[in-house]
Amino acid sequence: LLAIGGAAGGIAAFLPVVIQAIGSWQRIESLLEHPADVPATVNGAPLDKPLSRLALRDVSFSYTGERLNLNEVSFETAVPRRIALVGPSGSGKSTIINLLSRNYDAINGSIMLNDTDIREVDNQKLRSLMAVVSQDTTLFEESIAYNIRIGRLDATDAEVEQAARAAEIHDFIAGLPNDYDTNVGEGGKLLSGGQRQRIVIARAFLRNPQILLLDEATSALDAEAEAAINETLTRISADRMLFSVTHRLSSCRDMDWICVFKDGKMVETGTHDQLLERGGVYAGMWEKQSEIAIGNAGREVAISIE
Ligand code: ATP
């Protein structure tokens, strides 16, 4: 949610203009809210240059102060790159996304964008750099256009359509009786899971983010819909930095790099092939998923014979 917003001042400057078209102030405001426990950086570094390097340096974090949920995580990457974050449940993957989107600040260490600490970067600039797509992103009981435009409130109709095309949902929308004015129903219930997620991807793409953060963006979908959406995401992230938290390791094969987390530590990194060869945590997870896949395939055969 944070990633679609900005420090309240900047957004508020043009919000009244679109408020009638877009709904109630409170609703939008709650979406754009800056988290209370992260100090806003106003008039900070503009980060003029295109993002070319991103680094985590000995980053540690704790939600409650009782134990470390991330423990001295370091890595550096050129931009653009496609990076998968994998590991068992609770290992700290989403926490990395939370820190990258500055939902929280690290308690130790730093996140560097080029040569600038993320805490020094002007809030509005930071928001405009990033977009998050997660599995539980909200769709409002409003039109499709409304739901896409939440990504950038001043977007023109043409830009909304362009984003929908990039997310490969335009043709579907154009085929609806009220096309972009079609109401998606409560929580988007009139759409399929894949269609909902494409609307959310269009919303993210409308921001033209340099950093795309996917937190289990396709985990609620069946394998076929997931594969189709992954193709779309591969296309739209070609020249952007992509971090993708995923449980499905099959989607890691095309990634440039994989970071494996366990108990808050980054325990392995490498490409899919390198990590399989290493025979460590990732290889163990891969083997387990393959066994489950074979098991499921076997069951399907059994059912179809019956
Ligand atoms: P999953 O695959 O289940 O989403 P994850 O690897 O993304 O897990 P995180 O969500 O990063 O894991 O959580 C890391 C640890 O921090 C877990 O032990 C989790 O219980 C804890 N945690 C996450 N969010 C909070 C929070 N808001 N308050 C307190 N603890 C939290």
The reported pLDDT for the residue numbered 3 is: 32
Mean pLDDT of the chain: 83
172-208 confidence digits (pLDDT tens): 999 999 999 999 999 898 999 889 999 999 999 999 9
Residue 98, ligand 1, Cβ within 6 A: no
Return the closest-CA partner of residue 3 out of 164, 174, 132, 158: 132
When pLDDT is averaged across residues 129-157 and rounded to a whole number, the result is: 91
Per-residue confidence band for 293, with pLDDT thresholds at 50, 70 and 90? low
- Using a pLDDT cut of 90, give the percent of the chain over it: 58
Indicate whether residue 92 lines ligand 1 (CB < 6 A): yes
Look at 78-82, 169-173, 233-237, 255-259 and tell me which has the smallest mean pLDDT: 233-237
pTM: 0.83
Tell me how far CA of residue 247 lies from CA of 45, 86, 96, 282, in angstroms.
35, 6, 15, 11
Higher pLDDT, 228 or 118: 118
Nearest CA to ligand 1 atom 10: 94
Q: Which atom of ligand 1 is the closest one to the Cα of 64?
A: 29
Which pLDDT score is estimated for 28? 46
pLDDT digits (tens, 9 = 90+) for 140-153: 999 999 999 999 99
Residue 261 · residue 90 · CB < 8 Å = no
Nearest ligand 1 atom, CA 96: 11
43 vs 302, higher pLDDT: 43
First to last CA, the chain: 47
Q: Which of 22-26, 69-73, 164-168, 290-294 has the lowest mean pLDDT?
A: 22-26
User: 108-113 and 116-117 as β-strands: parallel, antiparallel, unpaired?
Assistant: antiparallel
How far does the centroid of ligand 1 lie from the alpha carbon of residue 146, in Å?
A: 31
Q: Ligand 1 within 6 A of 232 CB?
A: no
Give the number of the atom of ligand 1 that is nearest the alpha carbon of residue 216.
4
Contact (CB, 8 A) for 31 and 230? no
The answer to whether the beta carbons of residues 8 and 33 sit under 8 Å apart is yes
Mean pLDDT of the 109-125 span: 92
Per-residue pLDDT band at 218 (split at 50, 70, 90): confident
DSSP characters over 145-191: HHHHHTT-TT--HHHHHHHHHHTT-HHHHHTSTTGGG-B--GGGTTS
